[in-house]
Every structure is written in structure tokens, then in C-alpha cells.
Amino acid sequence: MSTTAKQRSDPLVPLPGLLAEMGVPVEDVLTGTGLAPEDLTPDQFFDLSTILAILDNAVLRTGREDLGLLLGARHTTAVLGPLSRVVRASPTLGEALLDLSSMQGRNTSAATTYLRRQGEDVFFGYGVHDPRLAVSAVTQDIVLAILNRIIAELTR
């Protein structure tokens, strides 16, 4: 039995507001996904392929290649759902990022985050499990922007 890769919906929650600011109807971006604007609420899980289609549609409809950065910049640690409480309670940034990476499976069955230390440098990575899914730059941008916001929040 095959299961589809699921991703927490929270990163998409600010999308309708961002699209409205750009004069793009959210319904246009959701065309063909089977979702309606009222579905873009926290604590839902969607197929990752649906989320990727929404993000790609949003870039296409807005003409904004930086849409992932703009969308990710609207987040706080709350985007992590219940995991946000664990991350906020971590005594150091390093432990918070380790907690985020080790428990990210609570938010997705589609991708993974990881930390790798090399000398004094620390690398944070993100990868999608299913090689059949086309992951565009907008996806990487939203992950990068959300991580930036999380680090900014945790380090004040």
C-alpha cells in the first residue's frame, strides 16, 4: 500500500493575504489543486505535491520569483505547530535547531531537515524524500526564509 507524502499546511496560511496585496485572487492559485481558500488553515496536512503546485502557481500568477522569501518572512516559530513549544524551550540555538531537525517528522512525511557540523561551521539542510516530485526554487526559498525567521526569533 502506497502512502502519499504529507506536509503541514501552516507555511501556506499567510498566502491569501500576500496574494491579496499583489492583486492576485487566491482562487486562481488554487485552481486544479482541489483546495478552496478556506482550506488554508493551520494544523492541516496536505499532499506535498499539492503544496508544491500551489507555490509554483503562486509564482506563475504573481510573476514574483521571490514569493517563497516573501511568504516565509511572514512566519514565526508558530509555523512548526506543537514543535514550536519544544524549539522555544531549548536552552541554546544549537539545541533548538537539533530539536527542530530531529522532530521535524511530526510536521511532514515528505521531507527532512538536518544539521551537519563541519569544523566550526554548521549546515542546515532540507530535502524531499520522493525524487518524482519537482521541487522548485520557491520551495527552497520558503524553507530558508522560515529558518531565518525562526533563528531571528530565538536569538532576539
Q: Name beta bridge partners: 46.
A: 7
Q: Is the pLDDT of residue 1 over 80?
A: no
pTM comes to 0.89
pLDDT > 70 fraction of the chain, expressed in percent and rounded: 99
The structural domains of the chain, ordered by start, are 6-155 (3.90.1520)
Q: What digits encode the pLDDT tens for the residues 134-151? A: 788 899 999 999 999 999
Average pLDDT, the chain: 91
Task: Provide the 3-class DSSP secondary structure of residue 8.
Answer: strand
The grid cell for 56 is 509554483
